[in-house]
Chains A and B, each alone.
Chain A
Amino acid sequence: MRILLIEDDSRTTAYVMRGFGENGHQCETLPDGQDALYQATRETYDVLIVDRMLPGLDGLALVRALRAAGTMTPVLFLTAVSGVDDRVEGLDAGGDDYLVKPFAFSELLARVNALARRPPAHAEVTKLRVHDLELDLIRRRVVRQGQVVDLQPKEFKLLEYLMRNQARVVTRTMLLERVWGFNFDPKTSVVDTHISRLRSKIDKPFDVPLLHTIRNTGYSLHAPS
């Protein structure tokens, strides 16, 4: 994956670059918004990671300019500005995701992965499949090995999100934001509870587990290798 990181803090830059390097991704960095605008329109990247507060051209203005210029590369905002209004502003400006500092690299990596491989919006799928697990979006039905699995509405939504991101790591905060619409960190084990309920329904009765816990990061739904 080719990533452009637009960030003026050298420690953050080093931390992120090393992380992507270890994971086999190519990451370039630019500290200035104006330069980044030129670079991002000229070259092709899989994901842009943009700091909100930049010298030259601030992150919001940069992304607006990019979108106006027709560059549709997915953008993840990386910022210390964490207010809800700021998040909405970022997404309105054309950002695709928003991560608040301080962050764990695993969180950033999971989000960048999700962005880079986001399926094109026009691909209308009606059925999702992972190994022998099938989710029918129209009939709102889940079947594994021919057996209908009875799910609560929230469990269905959770499974749908996991299946859409199959074979990728999804973090707890990603689940909280996308599945439950929580933009805050709950103090109870909301995610664990629902994951374990889901697991008891789609995995426990069957021989091969599909839903895996990634320690300190999140979860991943994938077929046995």
Chain B
Amino acid sequence: MHPLKLLRSTPFRLALAFALLFVCAFLLSGFVTFNLIKKELDARYDSHTKELFQVISQTYVESDIQDVIDATRTHIAATTEKRNIFLLQAADGRILAANIPSVPVPDGWSTRPGGDFGIHGDFTYRIFAANVGADRLIIGTNNEETDELQEIVVASFGWALLVVIALAIGGGALIASRAQRRLDAVRDTMGRVSHGELSARIPLLGRGDDVDLLSNDINIALERLSIVVESMRQVSSDIAHDLKTPLNHLRMTLEEAALKQSQGQPVAAELEAAMTEATEIDETFEALLRIAQIESGARKSRFSSINLKVVLTSLMEVYGDVADDAGQQLTADFEANSGFTISGDRELLTQMYANLIENAIRHCPSGTRIQLSLYRNGDKVCTVLQDNGLGIAHEEHAKIFRRLYRLEKSRTSPGTGLGLSLVKAIADLHGVEIRLEDANPGLRFVMSYPPA
């Protein structure tokens, strides 16, 4: 991975921040540990010095310094490399026993560098001074070992720190690059989508972690998007196909009129046909625009409380006579004593049922019985429009809600082929589940409204 890109990566930045935090914690704990050890070592050396002092001073008998001098000399002989220093001095300044020159030292504890006693070396002495009888005894212990220990501790902490930093940054980079790869997969997918490859999906690891959840949400959104785009594409090509044909008809009719005109024949019939064809083209456009408008969902803001029974009763009044004229029978079966208030757009619902009823009237033969039912099923309002006409083949059921889809047998009858697509769009807008069933014989449209 490019270093600059690595620095921009959020996972790497997080890893780096954690590494920094870890190093700080490590330094703090090292400092505390070091000081604790140092304190403990100092205490031990002090007690050792005090012990020596006591051992020597205990040899003192009233007014007899000789034993002390002997003890001091014994200890001086036992010490090597001036690990311990001794100075026994009489009140008049005379040195009785010593391995250092005379140096003034205050009573009690003090710390002096070795150089004060003419000793070379980079270390200090902890010194205890007190009187023994009339004489003065000074004992010191050098802290060379403490210093060495300190150095060892500092060195090992330093190395450990280096390892920690290396591990933190290296591990962070590793983890970060793995996380980055998943983010890159998302970016890559989105890049492909923006370049028109709508079928691209983010690969999921199946771990159910947040990246997976997010990726899944994005995938779902992409799925919806591609369905919408696909249907748009479908519609565009349908329009191209289904409008080209009538446009071509129109053109042919007009050409025929022009030809007849040039031959001095009357052209009124051709012009009338051309007008009808133009109207049909306009109707198809209107229906497509209307469907698009409904599918956009904007009309939901105009929903109000509607009594479905009133809407359907009004439609029965309108279409009862129309069916009658077609030699059919349109009857209503509305459940009494029930509330049928739903939230919706009256105008659109009117059109939805009008389309369904007209569909039945137009495609059923004379003598068909058409029934519109309204009832409650639990908390759902349901309507059923059923006829005992010819019905349609089962394999056509799924297709009839498609835009511009027309059964072969109805290709020649007037109509845009958009009526049922409009029904579907209105049903979807209202959250209505619409189902097509075989009524044996005939068709049955079952629609159930969402619970209020």
Contacts and interface: CB of A to CB of B under 8 A. Distances in A.
Given A188-B358, A194-B321, 10 more contacts: A84-B290, A84-B293, A84-B348, A85-B293, A181-B350, A184-B290, A187-B415, A188-B322, A190-B322, A194-B318
B325 A154 contact: no
A193 B322 contact: yes
Contacts of A85: 293, 298-299, 302
B319 A190 contact: yes
Interface in B290-342: 290, 293, 298-299, 302, 314, 317-319, 321-322, 324-326
A83 B289 contact: yes
A197 interface: yes
Contacts of A154: 314, 317-318
Interface string A183-198: 1111111100110110
Interface string B275-286: 000110011001
B325 A189 contact: yes
Secondary structure of the A side of the interface?
Answer: loop
Which of A82, A184, A186 has the most B CB atoms < 10 Å from its CB? A184
A185 B278 CA distance: 15
A184 B354 contact: yes
Interface in A112-157: 152-154
B361 interface: yes
Query: Which bucket holds chain A's interface residue count?
Result: 20 to 34
A187 to B, nearest CB: 5
The contact size tier of chain B is: 20 to 34
B39 interface: no
Contacts of A182: 350-351, 354
Nearest to A152: B317
A102 interface: yes
A39 to B, nearest CB: 31
A186 B415 CA distance: 10
B317 A153 contact: yes
A146 B169 CA distance: 105
A187 B419 contact: yes
A152 B314 CA distance: 12
A180 interface: yes
B289 A82 contact: yes
Name the residue among A84, A181, A185 with the largest chain B CB count within 10 angstroms.
A84
A185 B290 CA distance: 12
B321 A193 contact: yes
B283 A185 contact: yes
Interface in A174-221: 180-190, 193-194, 196-197
Given A182-B354, A190-B322, A84 B361 contact: no
A105 to B, nearest CB: 12
A186 B352 CA distance: 11
Contacts of A197: 321
A183 B347 contact: yes
21 contacts: A85-B299, A100-B286, A102-B279, A152-B317, A154-B314, A154-B317, A180-B318, A181-B314, A182-B354, A184-B290, A185-B283, A186-B358, A187-B355, A187-B358, A187-B419, A188-B322, A188-B326, A189-B325, A190-B318, A193-B322, A194-B321
Nearest to B326: A188
Contacts of A190: 318-319, 322
Nearest to B317: A154
Contacts of B290: 82-84, 184
B362 interface: yes
B414 interface: yes
A153 B325 CA distance: 19
B430 to A, nearest CB: 15
B262 to A, nearest CB: 24
B331 to A, nearest CB: 16
B298 A84 contact: no
A190 B324 CA distance: 11
Nearest to A153: B317
A104 to B, nearest CB: 8
A83 B358 contact: no
A84 B322 CA distance: 26
Given A187-B358, A190-B319, A194-B321, A82 B347 contact: no
A158 B358 CA distance: 21
A132 to B, nearest CB: 26
A165 B175 CA distance: 82
Among B302, B317, B318, B319: residue with most chain A CB under 10 A: B318
Identify the 8 closest CB pairs spanning chains A and B, nearest first: A193-B322, A154-B317, A188-B358, A83-B293, A187-B358, A193-B321, A184-B351, A193-B325
